[in-house]
Amino acid sequence: MKTGEEMTREEMPGEEVTGEAMAGPSDVLDLDSLLSADELELRQKVRDFTEQRIKPDIAGWYEDAVFPLELAPELGELGVLGMHLEGYGCPGRSAVEYGLAAMELEAGDSGIRTFVSVQGSLAMTAIHTWGSEEQKEEWLPRMAAGEVIGCFALTEPTAGSDPAAMATVAQRDGSGDDAGWVLNGAKRWIGLASAAGVMVVWAMTDDGVRGFLVPAGTPGVTATPIKQKLSMRASIQCDVAFDGVRLGPEALLPGGFGLRGPFTCLNEARYGIAWGAMGAARDSYEAALAYSQDRLQFGKPLAGYQLTQEKLVNMLVEIQKGTLLALHLGRLKDAGTIRPEQISLAKLNNVREAIAVAREARTILGGNGITGDYSPLRHAANLESVRTYEGTDEVHTLILGRHITGLGAFH
Ligand code: TGC
């Protein structure tokens, strides 16, 4: 009689092992069975893109601190720019499909997923939701195609978690319907600003916070990439200065009064992050699993040691839970019932757990794990940015705290 170790999976006693039950080492719960054929097809398309266009070069881009701008039109062709938006050349895909794409892209690198988020969830969503018909026609088709890059200028050097304290101001330039605006101030951590064809800029006016579209080349605007980053290196974040920038009346986004304007866009980006972080976690786990099966120590594969198996299992449990959470969130979003505190819960949990997974994965890789040959430490470093932008862990904790107690504790 064969021992348990000698038996194949199919020969083991107990319930019949079906194809569905053998969904692979990353999907013990068979979460794939919760996805439609269209969703699986879309995911495979983006996964193939990540394998072919991101993974082969990412270590070099990361080391050289380069964002591959040539990917922008390719991502447009892939259909992931503004992919949840309808009309104006946008793909009009579901929230779950957008989430799956974010997950696959972030399995490549958070910097690439961040570009897609800033472009689609922030800049394009701002124009789509709050822009005039002319503004939408002018910018959205080219942004969906990746021909024009957008950025979203909200955060300031002294106003990060508290955008209500922004110091950037837009004052009326003249009077009457033809009156334009003069913009003064500074923004920080603005993704892709130095490459942007159009900036969505949030500024304080006499009527509260409003959004403005500032095209590239507008006099008085400077965007300077922030150097010496230890995270998100295959990506560009900038300091942006506005020095007496004169804008016509057509620059104003007619909708989006107050902070509800930018926060509506942040909901979209935070949603995508909840999915994306699980992509970085999954890639870290898979790298560690593969390494542990090949690498011999003390005469047998690392994967054969109890301590390694415990690490792998703990990682997998969090990835499966986080992916299920993201999928539930996506279904709520597609049903039109999603609430901001639900997004906060998922962003907080999934990024926090993804960092833990990436760090644990690195320990299995030993010394080799600190080189660019393996992804986990790069993912862990990137996720430090992801846990900080679009609402820090602390901000999302307090959003949830306010929700469950009814008491705001921000200040
Ligand atoms: P609060 O009084 O709560 O709300 C002000 C107004 O906004 C509305 N609102 C929302 N609307 C839609 N979605 C949400 N999630 C909303 N949250 C609030 C709210 O209803 C109210 O509307 P109204 O019409 O009554 O005026 O505002 P608060 O100042 O007390 O908020 C506190 C806090 C901490 C929750 C908020 O400030 C916050 O979320 N802070 C975090 C900011 C943040 O996430 N920043 C990241 C910016 S992203 C970026 O800069 C670029 S990163 C990507 C890149 O470019 O690379």
- Same domain for 333 and 376, yes or no, is yes
Which tokens in the block code for residue 107? 């399995």
Cβ–Cβ < 8 Å for 111, 66: no
Cβ–Cβ < 8 Å for 106, 277: yes
pLDDT for residue 25 is more than 90: no
- What's the number of CA atoms in the CB half-sphere (13 Å) around residue 306? 0
pLDDT for residue 2 is more than 80: no
Query: What pLDDT, on a 0 to 100 scale, did the predictor assign at position 176?
Result: 85
Which tokens in the block code for residue 47? 């996964």
- Domain assignment present for residue 20? The answer is no
* pLDDT digit string, tens, across residues 88-126: 999 999 999 999 999 999 999 999 999 999 999 999 999
CA dihedral 116, 253, 270, 31 (to 10 degrees): -70
CA 354–ligand 1 middle distance (angstroms): 24
* pLDDT digit string, tens, across residues 180-212: 999 999 999 999 999 999 999 999 999 999 999
CA 391–ligand 1 middle distance (angstroms): 9
Structural domain ending residue among the three candidates 144, 178, 205: 144
pLDDT for residue 391 is more than 50: yes
As a whole number of Å, the CA-based R_g of the chain is 23
Query: What pLDDT, on a 0 to 100 scale, did the predictor assign at position 26?
Result: 82
Mean pLDDT of 266-270: 98
φ and ψ at residue 84, rounded to 5 degrees: -90, 0
* pLDDT digit string, tens, across residues 174-184: 988 889 999 99
CA 34–ligand 1 middle distance (angstroms): 32
Q: Which residue's C-alpha comes closest to atom 16 of ligand 1? A: 263
- Same domain for 140 and 154, yes or no, is no
258 lines ligand 1 (CB under 6 A): yes
Domain that holds residue 233: 150-257
The CATH number linked to 235 is 2.40.110.10
* pLDDT digit string, tens, across residues 203-239: 999 999 999 999 999 999 999 999 999 999 999 999 9
Query: What pLDDT, on a 0 to 100 scale, did the predictor assign at position 177?
Result: 80
How large a percentage of the chain has pLDDT more than 90? 92
User: CA-based angle 344:382:356, to the nearest 5?
Assistant: 65
Query: What pLDDT, on a 0 to 100 scale, did the predictor assign at position 16?
Result: 44
* pLDDT digit string, tens, across residues 307-359: 999 999 999 999 999 999 999 999 999 999 999 999 999 999 999 999 999 99
Distance CA 132, CA 130 (A): 7
User: Does 390 participate in catalysis according to the annotation?
Assistant: yes
Q: Residue 391 CA: which ligand 1 atom is closest? A: 44
- Domain assignment present for residue 391? The answer is yes
How large a percentage of the chain has pLDDT more than 70? 94
Query: What pLDDT, on a 0 to 100 scale, did the predictor assign at position 20?
Result: 40
Cβ–Cβ < 8 Å for 151, 190: yes
- Domain assignment present for residue 5? The answer is no
- Domain assignment present for residue 399? The answer is yes
- Across the strands, what pairs with 189? none
- Same domain for 251 and 266, yes or no, is no
196 lines ligand 1 (CB under 6 A): no
Q: Which residue's C-alpha comes closest to atom 50 of ligand 1? A: 155
pLDDT for residue 53 is more than 90: yes
Query: What pLDDT, on a 0 to 100 scale, did the predictor assign at position 18?
Result: 42
Residue 166 zone, left/alpha/beta (φ > 0; ψ -120 to 50; rest):
beta
Distance CA 130, CA 142 (A): 18
SS3 164: helix
152 lines ligand 1 (CB under 6 A): yes
CA distances from 159 to 14, 38, 153, 166, 301 (A): 59, 42, 12, 6, 50
Structure-token match 């679009």, residue found: 390
- Same domain for 277 and 398, yes or no, is yes
Q: Which residue's C-alpha comes closest to atom 22 of ligand 1? A: 260
- Same domain for 342 and 324, yes or no, is yes
pLDDT for residue 19 is more than 80: no
263 lines ligand 1 (CB under 6 A): yes
